[in-house]
Amino acid sequence: MQFEHRHAAHCESGTVSALLRHHDIEVSEAMAFGLASALAFAYLPFIKVAGLPLISYRMPPKAILKGVQAQLGVRLRCETFRDAARGMARLDELLGRGQPVGLQTSVYWLPYFPPDMRFHFNAHNLVVYEKQGDDYLISDPVFETPVRSAAADLQKARFARGLLAPHGLLYYPERIAPPRDLRRAVLGAIRRTTRIMLHAPLPFIGVRGIRLLARRIGKLAQSRDPDHAALFIGHHVRMQEEIGTGGGGFRFIYASFLQEAGERLGNAALPELAAEMTAVGDHWREFALAAARMCRGRTAMDFARLENLLLEAAAREEIFFRALAACKA
């Protein structure tokens, strides 16, 4: 069966959806993201990305792979490799059987990414569905059309070193089970997401993490190093809007999940909550725009304003997730 490429908002959820769809399990990107309880927030000052704190708006890489398996009863076989040559040979073997394969890669070494979009991020997911000569045909969810990569480039991307090193990870559906009770799966996924956002025991996770970051940004006004303070704000914008789909983007995907779940389950409350989640995503984009304008010198740096925008985001998310927790799917 010919592989169908579809553009998606996020690489991991788009890749999982594409692989399942190829095996006649119609799971949208938004449904895969929502059922995996992938929405989150984390401000982790003890984990550094280019010397600055990790800020994340979703669960860690591979969370969607694991979550979809648990909720849908499918099994994705995952394989990693110490030897790059063996990893490439295994990929060729699976493609020779007609099996499209999901890969975790580094963005930096993928030749079809424009040079100004390449950076050392090792958790980008894509599907390889065919090999022609020395080139691999790739369905990369974040691109409009299929792309291709020479074998040497793809090998570098699969075996890049550093934070979140992929170790040649490949995955594909190994067992396809009959669909489970969707209502039960949606309800369980919603419960997990609300627990993460409202009741995480650690102060840097969920709504508490947003408030912690807001206070950190507010204190930058007292910094003796204004260049580093501006760099911190620029780093936040990059983490929010350029790595993955960012703060607003993940909120929009989750809103789509609630909209689809409400329609499929006949629950009118979920689409209403989806509209509110979309508004929350818009607010995150407002914060990113204000911060970006300050970093570029178009407006004066105003740490108090950025702090207040984040505190408002935290308040809106708390109200939203409490309402979602009270909703019966």
The DSSP code sequence of 189-208 is: HHHHHHHHHHH-SSTTBHHH
* Same structural domain, 133 and 251: no
* Same structural domain, 153 and 221: no
Does residue 145 sit within a domain? yes
Does residue 134 sit within a domain? yes
Average pLDDT over residues 115-141: 92
* Same structural domain, 186 and 54: yes
Does residue 321 sit within a domain? yes
**Count of positions (residues) in the chain:** 329
Does residue 9 sit within a domain? no
* Same structural domain, 184 and 235: yes
Is the pLDDT assigned to residue 320 strictly greater than 70? Answer: yes
Give whichever of 65-79, 114-128, 251-265 has the largest mean pLDDT.
251-265
Is the pLDDT assigned to residue 146 strictly greater than 70? Answer: yes
Average pLDDT over residues 304-321: 97
Among residues 173, 200, 234, which one ends one of the domains?
Answer: 173
Q: What is the model's pLDDT at position 246?
A: 60
With CA atoms as reference, report the closest residue to 168 among 176, 179, 177, 160.
160
Q: What is the model's pLDDT at position 178?
A: 63
Distance of CA 38 to the CA centre of its chain: 8
Q: How far apart are CA 217 and CA 251, in angstroms?
A: 22
* Same structural domain, 123 and 41: no
At 303, is the pLDDT very low, low, confident or very high (cuts 50, 70, 90)?
very high
Among residues 116, 150, 173, which one ends one of the domains?
Answer: 173
Buried b (16+ CB within 10 A) or exposed e, 274-290: bebbbebbebbbebbeb
Q: What are the pLDDT digits (tens) for 196-213?
A: 999 999 999 999 999 999
Q: Which helix (H) or strand (E) holds 75?
A: strand 75-79
Q: What's the total number of domains in the chain?
A: 2
* Same structural domain, 150 and 186: no
With contact defined as beta carbons under 8 Å apart, do 122 and 162 qualify?
A: yes
Gyration radius of the chain over CA positions:
20
CATH of the domain at 146: 3.90.70.10
Q: Which helix (H) or strand (E) holds 312?
A: helix 303-326
Q: How far apart are CA 237 and CA 37, in angstroms?
A: 24
* Same structural domain, 143 and 217: no
* Same structural domain, 154 and 203: no
With contact defined as beta carbons under 8 Å apart, do 59 and 285 qualify?
A: no
* Same structural domain, 186 and 280: yes
Does residue 120 sit within a domain? yes
At 83, is the pLDDT very low, low, confident or very high (cuts 50, 70, 90)?
very high
Domain span holding position 54: 22-74+176-329
What stretches of 27-148 show up as alpha helix (H) in DSSP? 29-35, 63-72, 84-96
* Same structural domain, 223 and 244: yes
Strand partners of residue 52? 49
Question: What tokens appear for 170 in the block?
Answer: 């490949």
* Same structural domain, 324 and 204: yes
Does residue 279 sit within a domain? yes
Q: Look-up: residue for tokens 């789509």? A: 256
Degrees to nearest 5, angle at CA 30 with 165 and 170: 30
Q: How far apart are CA 249 and CA 57, in angstroms?
A: 9
Is the pLDDT assigned to residue 49 strictly greater than 80? Answer: no
Does residue 1 sit within a domain? no
Does residue 15 sit within a domain? no
